[in-house]
Chain A
């Protein structure tokens, strides 16, 4: 880190906004109870109330304990016991996102989702959506029974109504999202044979149809190819948020992060260029980030095409105007130097852009190495024509019945309103498990299972099979959608038998290891996956059985395809198409999905709604993002969550929404997230944000998220956002340590701070100075520690939600977030930085330039488990103490709520229970602990905290204790990797390493040993708190 780098967490911090300075000195930005009390002196009645309460509380406490019942099973199922978890391998496939998962069930209830390490696709990684999806099972808005005309019905009535509906002689259409499922495809074939006039339409809310079309033109294959970022030294992304939301983010994050690991034996990392209008997660992780208007992305692609062609001897086209040619040349040089080891991706749905990208990749020889057409990605198959045909068919009355399965086009499609109106002309059938806008417009609701109650199979990429199995019996009188469809097709078997039959005929013959199908099936079900051509998985279990990288432990299948013979894309027309749309000077709206919500399928998931977006750090709604200069122009300022509402006009539509100031955004671009504002949704999602899907531009036949003809005005109406970023301030202390790759290669400790304390005896290391005489705690048994690699942490937040689910962290709702009382134990701090010295009298303009395109650093921050913990020394009741395993223990039942510990914690990671969130449905309706159904998701091994106690990260003590007990029962030491925290488990990039530092072969110990004299640092070392959490410096390939 150079001396003139400044870090800021929010725009108000950078500009030293008076609100920020005022609030930075206080813990909360609302008056504290004492301040309120001073304003209102207690009177006699209050005194009497308190006395009365005290007496009755004392009387209550002396009552007999209530009689508690214990109800055992009638017949205990095999291998199920109350206290130990059962794990089932399954698959997550929602919203076009695939993830191989393990479902943890306790006493028959699924309570946690973790990644399946056996899968070569997702390799044990997860995303926020996957982690939070377990709550969907216990969603109390779910349909409990099938419905006809919004009245509960029996399944017999539904079957009869369905059978009658498809016999009208008109077309019957089944609309689904991409279902890369061999069995589902077989089911569709059976329905086509059984029902005359049956059609299957694939509709993806966030499609990749431009890629499919371009590949068809360029290579004759209408597919989305596989990308292997782990083989790429140079990556160029044109607004493709592959780390956050694009195609298969878990897989891509994992692969890309592998190229960002540094150590004594590896001093090279890949380089990432991003060209984008808004600040995306991928842009935040970029080494070089170029801001461009959404409509100018095409000309940037064209310019890069020209530059690459010029260097590879291809034929360059006309010179493109309006691009930063120097930056493009740099990219081209880097790409050409890494021919065959680079990849260029574009997020646009414009086939012309994609054709040019294909041309670049082909010229660079990336096909067959980093891009693979032989094993296409099957999770995005939808095209725009399909759903347009459905709308037309409904409007002209040729469609008699339309079935919607797991899709919500009334909400997600730009012409959703028209679709809703047209649905009156046909029998609409919803095969959803919870109400959606589409289901609400349907006559019949064939209430379906949640995915954790269902059987299915998936083939997310050709040759990579994956099974989905139920982890719980159906909670309600629902039926798996596929079973309803099988019945409709007149197939007299269950979908489970159907999946088995498909595997017997399709998958079983693709292997030679197992002679009998049953044996093969059992192994596949146990592993959750089957990958063609992969060496046997037998003996490899989900729990790691040795040290080292997971990639070495599991020998993942990485397929290298063959390059297509020729590139047949029409570059000329593509060129003119992309340069033809070159940007004007007008304001542009760019729509994008947020990490948590994506297209809004999990719109009623309170944990996702309270998940702060990694970039904006706003919870509970969507908002308009403005570039700093635009904000100044409009008079919008965001300070401590306080902002104003702006009116956004696009064509005839308008929305009034809160605005935020987003550094790193192109100045004539306005950002708006889709996925919010569902009208038919459960309690948590009701009234949350507004729907941006109607703004999606369909004019070119392909969904485009760049919309022109936009105007925005400030209504000057004040609005409070649940903005968590400024909840804490670090008062300018250096908590981030970073360097560039060149600096690191010269000096491995580059960027590190070595604080010295000035004493009367000269300068001393902080560790040599202590107020206390005691030596550092002895840790004879275990010494739990964590290493977080800031270089591979992409800030995705899977760890945050994983922690919430594992530790019963309370959902507090927007108002409490506004009050800065969010309860997250683990937060990912997002810092902006720029190389502009902070001058006391710097003008606003100078500061704005600094904020225009800042660098971004993510830092997961949780309890640092200090060995000299400042919180421990100030607790008057010894509620927080130190263990001989190096843990800073928090004892809830001892805590009396003085909050001294939180005040004395330099890392600000302690959270206080201001309310009894669990028994307070009235005030916290979205808290899962408040409802008999949703509370089933709670982890029974973790206390649900009461009001008035402090809480914080425990290093997942329940998982530590459980792992130790397993080892003790077997009479052995725990194996490294057997005990991991929920955050380390959830991490898709293996940026968090957890383990026993007393085990000389543990990964965490090896990482510390290896990095001790290089990148490992502890935050705020100068306080001599001696944390058990170490960070590795961030190294940018700038």
Chain B
């Protein structure tokens, strides 16, 4: 087979394009990975930063921690919708008393409270652990209504968000792919135009008699593809590339041993995080009670499910499984999704309570997962990478005062986890 110089040039450009796109795609993937971590972190950081009125913001926090599981503003969840609820009560003091001791107020004969009880057929639990200030904050918040999402512009407060932003360069993965596609298209057009131009020029040269014969011969010379493919250079190239790809595939395969990224086993109960964490925005901490306390976030015990499900959707076959567990006194055997080897020590409280890392930074968009799945690789490289990139949430924690002072003496750079021994073996292996 014979082709012209033009086509040879074209092949060169095409192969160049090919390699560029490979590199670009892998960069795009890296960007997308980090960005996936960045997005939820940024979004989740928002509520903390939003709200100007002190007591309303505080009230929102109290509401989210204690009320949200059963109350929404415009919708009946377990208890009544709260929009305009403050106005329905004779006085705020009466409401405050009701929040604290509902059963007492209902039994005390308050007509409105009695009406509520008859309508909803259950008592709200006592909230006597809330201070009076907390309750008035909550009432202020209820009066004002839910904060508009737009009002809470994200300010990069959480270190998790910031780290991810630095890593991904703030580029959105999807947009990057589109730009790449357009670039590729433009390059293909340029190639076609070039080939056309080469053809036109060749033809023009051929028709031009003033060009010396040897030059013409050069121009008209045909490429011998058979010889090209059989040439030692090409063979070597093919072998080198082949070995490289095989090695890469093998390497990836070996490194994937024991990595369960994407693992989403079927659970005994079809629990949906999308519904609970996404739609109803139940705080992760409400069910995973250990997350701020210790090593394990803990899978919620049945009594936590029952806080709501003794009233909600009790007839659903999935909820019936919970009831069965209670009746037969048999705990539910969930399938563990995130498995760390015994040799690695991981503590949730260190990361969530002390480090202020958002759940999504490691667990992904749980609020959008119908079935929970392992989002991250959970490899040591992944841990180390984050420790290198994440700044320590040192401000306001007296434990870090001296370390922060010493760090600031030396550099203006933020104090990363790695700077204070976060890469040392015995931090995780003992």
Contact = CB atoms under 8 A, between A and B. Distances in A.
B261 to A, nearest CB: 12
Interface residues of A, number: 46
A762 interface: no
B429 A84 contact: no
Give the residue among A83, A84, A891, A972 with the most B Cβ atoms within 10 A: A83
A967 B344 CA distance: 22
Interface string A59-83: 0011001011111111110000111
Given A82-B296, A883-B424, A943-B429, A973 B339 contact: no
A962 to B, nearest CB: 9
Given A967-B399, A969-B354, A881 B424 contact: yes
B398 A885 contact: no
A969 B426 contact: no
B339 A65 contact: yes
B335 to A, nearest CB: 6
A971 interface: yes
A75 B303 contact: yes
A74 B331 contact: yes
Interface string B244-267: 000000000000011010000100
B391 to A, nearest CB: 15
B342 interface: yes
A974 B7 CA distance: 73
Interface in B379-393: none
A767 interface: no
B316 interface: no
Nearest to B344: A893
Contact of B425 (A71, A72, A889): A889
A870 B19 CA distance: 49
Nearest to A998: B402
Contacts of A968: 350, 354, 397, 399
B353 interface: yes
Interface of B (DSSP majority class): loop
Contact of B260 (A65, A942, A969): A65
A82 B424 CA distance: 26
A892 interface: yes
Contacts, number: 150
B421 A781 contact: yes
Contacts of A973: 398-399
Interface string A305-325: 000000000000000000000
A954 interface: yes
Interface of A (DSSP majority class): loop
A69 B335 contact: yes
Nearest to A878: B425
A942 B430 contact: yes
Interface in A867-893: 881, 883-885, 887, 889-893
Given A887-B426, A891-B425, A971-B399, A71 B331 contact: yes
B326 A74 contact: yes
A306 B298 CA distance: 72
A75 B301 contact: yes
A81 B335 CA distance: 20
A354 to B, nearest CB: 51
A1019 B88 CA distance: 79
B409 to A, nearest CB: 10
Interface in B342-359: 342-345, 347-350, 353-354
Contact of B426 (A61, A954, A967): A954
Contacts of B54: none
Nearest to B253: A62
A81 B429 contact: no
A894 interface: yes
B335 A943 contact: no
Contact of B333 (A69, A83, A969): A69
A477 interface: no
Interface string A556-568: 0000000000000
B342 A891 contact: no
A83 B296 contact: yes
A941 B300 CA distance: 22
B304 to A, nearest CB: 7
B293 A61 contact: no
Contact of A780 (B293, B330, B402, B424): B402
B343 A943 contact: yes
Contacts of A70: 299, 333-336
A187 B260 CA distance: 60
B390 to A, nearest CB: 15
Contacts of B81: none
B430 A957 contact: yes
The 10 closest A-B pairs by CB, nearest first: A83-B294, A83-B295, A889-B426, A76-B301, A891-B425, A75-B303, A73-B301, A893-B343, A68-B336, A84-B294
Interface of A: 61-62, 65, 67-76, 81-84, 780-781, 881, 883-885, 887, 889-894, 941-944, 954, 957-958, 961, 964-965, 967-969, 971-973
Given A74-B303, A83-B296, A961-B430, 5 more contacts: A82-B295, A889-B426, A954-B426, A957-B430, A971-B397
Interface of B: 257-258, 260, 265, 289-290, 292-296, 298-304, 325-326, 329-336, 339, 341-345, 347-350, 353-354, 396-399, 402-403, 406, 420-421, 424-427, 429-430
23 contacts: A65-B258, A68-B336, A69-B333, A71-B333, A71-B334, A76-B301, A81-B290, A83-B290, A83-B296, A780-B402, A885-B421, A889-B424, A889-B429, A890-B426, A891-B429, A943-B342, A954-B426, A961-B427, A965-B347, A965-B349, A967-B399, A968-B354, A971-B397
